[in-house]
């Protein structure tokens, strides 16, 4: 009997090299910052902790971890159709996010080498880890007969400028949420090995420890700069970053719930767990965390999700552009209103939560 593998079509730059996914507000971003301001940052008040974390980075526990073993040596053609499309998308998004971390840390390591050697050393060691993570994911894409041209990605992507303070809020959160995402998938598959349909998930246990250590490095940097954490502005910005990171993940993951279903996870339950854990972790550094138990929190996120699905349907329709725009406008307005509503849900002050969430 001859069976035909259902392979989704992907746009290619060259044979086997996938055209990067279109950039949208929800795709992983590339960042740049004010290197001079970063060079002048005095971290001496928390230098001991930073040195201890750097010493741990140097131990390089995962030096031999990212090696493709015999588990990969088989055909993956049985992952086909929509599941295959979702798998490729997951690997591409993860690879792009890891690679974005690599580029930022590498550039910071290079530029701060002489002016702020302590920070530079931390960034260089973290870029070593992110390069491994991105490389491992890109190699996994070859199991699906594709890969990303990371050099092309470096040159073609737009870079978002953030001042150092915002870089630290954003990287701290993305490392910690990365840790919770990887470990939650790992633990779920440990309990449900029949759902581990591809071997990369076995690597997530040690992998997430890299992200956890990176998060600890940024935790220590933030603690060296109390002015980033202890005034009313810090509270407003921490709120904004927590909300942006959680909302982006929720909208992305719900849209791809098929991927999570393919490994036996419910995307909503998974995201709620990751948000709960990351919010709780952030309470060790940030002056506030979000009140995710407020019923409006997930209510408003669900409304955004339903708006985004409608926006995608309009985009995919054949209506002329001006009609599409008119149909989309109320949904954009609603999304903005939901986001503002979410922002104004009273946050929890972490200094009053001693002994609860810390
Ligand atoms: Fe990473
Ligand atoms: Fe990381």
Tens of pLDDT along 77-104?
A: 999 999 999 999 999 999 999 999 999 9
Strands 30-32 and 159-161, by their bridges, are parallel
3-state secondary structure at position 348: strand
Least distant ligand from the CA of 122: 2
Q: Estimate the crossing angle of helix 47-59 against helix 204-224, to 10 degrees.
A: 160
Q: Are 30 and 103 in contact (CB under 8 A)?
A: yes
Instruction: Name the closest ligand to CA 98.
Output: 1
Closest ligand to the CA of 182: 1
Structure confidence at residue 353 (pLDDT):
57
Q: What count of Cα atoms within 13 Å lies in the side-chain half-sphere of residue 337?
A: 9
From the CA of 129, how far away is ligand 1's center (Å)?
Answer: 6
- Interatomic CA distance for residues 26 and 240, integer angstroms: 16
How far is the centre of ligand 1, averaged over its atoms, from the C-alpha of 353 (Å)? 30
Phi, psi of 203 (to 5 degrees): -85, -10
Cα separation, 313 vs 71, whole angstroms: 39
For residue 13, the model assigns a pLDDT of 86
Distance from residue 301's CA to the centre of ligand 2 (Å): 26
Residue 346 CA, ligand 2 centroid: distance in Å: 30
Kindly give the distance from the C-alpha atom of residue 3 to the centroid of ligand 2, in angstroms, as a whole number: 41
From the CA of 36, how far away is ligand 1's center (Å)?
26
How many angstroms separate the alpha carbon of residue 98 from the centre of ligand 2? Answer: 7
DSSP state of 147: B
- Please answer whether residues 354 and 251 qualify as being in contact, where contact means their C-beta atoms are separated by less than 8 angstroms: no
Query: Can you give the pTM of this predicted structure?
Result: 0.93
Q: Tell me the mean pLDDT in the region 126-136.
A: 97
* Residue ranges in the chain assigned as alpha helix (H): 35-39, 47-59, 81-111, 117-142, 150-156, 164-191, 204-224, 232-255, 257-262, 267-282, 295-316, 321-343
Instruction: Tell me the β-bridge partners of 32.
Output: 161
Ligand nearest to the CA of 212: 2
300-330 tens-digit pLDDT: 999 999 999 999 999 999 999 999 999 999 9
Cα 135 to middle of ligand 2, angstroms = 13
Distance 252 CA to ligand 1 centre (A): 19
If we measure between CA atoms, which residue out of 101, 82, 114, 89 comes closest to residue 173?
101
The Cα 15–Cα 254 span in angstroms is 31
The pLDDT score that the predictor gives to residue 355 is 46
Ligand 1 ion: nearby residues, β-carbon < 5 Å: 98, 130, 133
Question: At residue 123, does pLDDT exceed 50?
Answer: yes
Partners of 31 in beta bridges: 160
Strands 159-161 and 288-289: unpaired
Cα distance between residue 92 and residue 140, in whole Å: 10
Judged against a pLDDT cut of 70, whether residue 358 lies above it is answered with no
| CA 344 – CA 27 distance, rounded (Å) | 25
Distance 56 CA to ligand 2 centre (A): 14
Name the token pair of 248. 């982006």
Chain-centroid distance of CA 138 in Å reads: 16
Q: Write down the pLDDT at residue 351.
A: 75
297: pLDDT strictly greater than 90: yes
Residue 16 reports pLDDT greater than 60: yes
Residue pair 96/157 in contact by the 8 Å Cβ criterion: no
pLDDT on residue 357: 41
Binning pLDDT at 50, 70 and 90, where does residue 146 land? very high
Q: How far apart are CA 90 and CA 28, in angstroms?
A: 12
Q: Is the pLDDT of residue 124 over 50?
A: yes
Which tokens sit at 264?
Answer: 């036996």
The tokens for 48 are 């001991």
**CA 2–ligand 2 middle distance (angstroms):** 44
Give the distance (Å) from ligand 2 centre to CA of residue 200.
17
Quick check: helix, strand or coil at residue 18?
Answer: strand
Of the bound ligands, which one is closest to the alpha carbon of residue 206? Answer: 1
């Amino acid at each position: 009997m001859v069976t035909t593998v259902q392979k989704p079509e992907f746009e290619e730059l060259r044979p086997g090299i996938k055209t990067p996914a279109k950039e949208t507000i929800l795709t992983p971003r590339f960042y740049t910052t004010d290197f001079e301001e970063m060079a002048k940052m005095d971290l001496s008040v928390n230098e001991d902790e930073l040195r201890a974390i750097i010493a741990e980075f140097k131990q390089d526990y995962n030096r031999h971890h990212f090696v493709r073993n015999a588990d990969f040596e088989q055909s993956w053609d049985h992952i086909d159709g929509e599941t295959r499309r979702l798998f490729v998308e997951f690997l591409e998004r993860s690879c792009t996010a890891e690679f974005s971390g690599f580029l930022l840390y590498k550039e910071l390591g290079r530029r701060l080498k002489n002016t702020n050697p302590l920070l530079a050393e931390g960034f260089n060691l973290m870029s070593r880890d992110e390069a491994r993570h991105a490389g491992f994911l890109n190699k996994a894409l070859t199991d699906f007969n594709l890969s990303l041209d990371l050099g092309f990605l470096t040159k073609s992507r737009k870079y978002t400028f953030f001042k150092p303070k915002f870089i630290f809020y954003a990287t701290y959160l993305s490392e910690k949420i990365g840790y919770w995402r990887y470990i939650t998938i790992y633990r779920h598959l440990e309990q449900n090995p029949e759902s581990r349909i591809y071997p990369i998930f076995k690597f997530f246990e040690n992998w997430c420890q890299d992200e956890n250590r990176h998060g600890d490095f940024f935790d220590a940097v933030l603690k060296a700069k109390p002015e980033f954490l202890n005034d009313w502005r810090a509270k407003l910005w921490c709120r904004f970053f927590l909300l942006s990171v959680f909302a982006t993940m929720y909208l992305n993951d719900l849209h791809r719930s098929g991927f999570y279903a393919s490994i036996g996870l419910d995307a909503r339950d998974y995201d709620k767990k990751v948000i709960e854990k990351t919010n709780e972790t952030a309470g060790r550094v940030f002056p506030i965390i979000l009140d995710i138990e407020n019923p409006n929190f997930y209510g408003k996120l669900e409304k955004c999700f339903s708006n985004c699905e409608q926006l995608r349907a309009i985009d995919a329709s054949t209506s002329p552009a001006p009609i599409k725009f008119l149909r989309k406008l109320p949904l954009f307005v609603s999304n903005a209103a939901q986001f503002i509503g979410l922002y104004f849900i009273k946050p929890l002050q972490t200094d009053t939560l001693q002994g609860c969430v810390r």
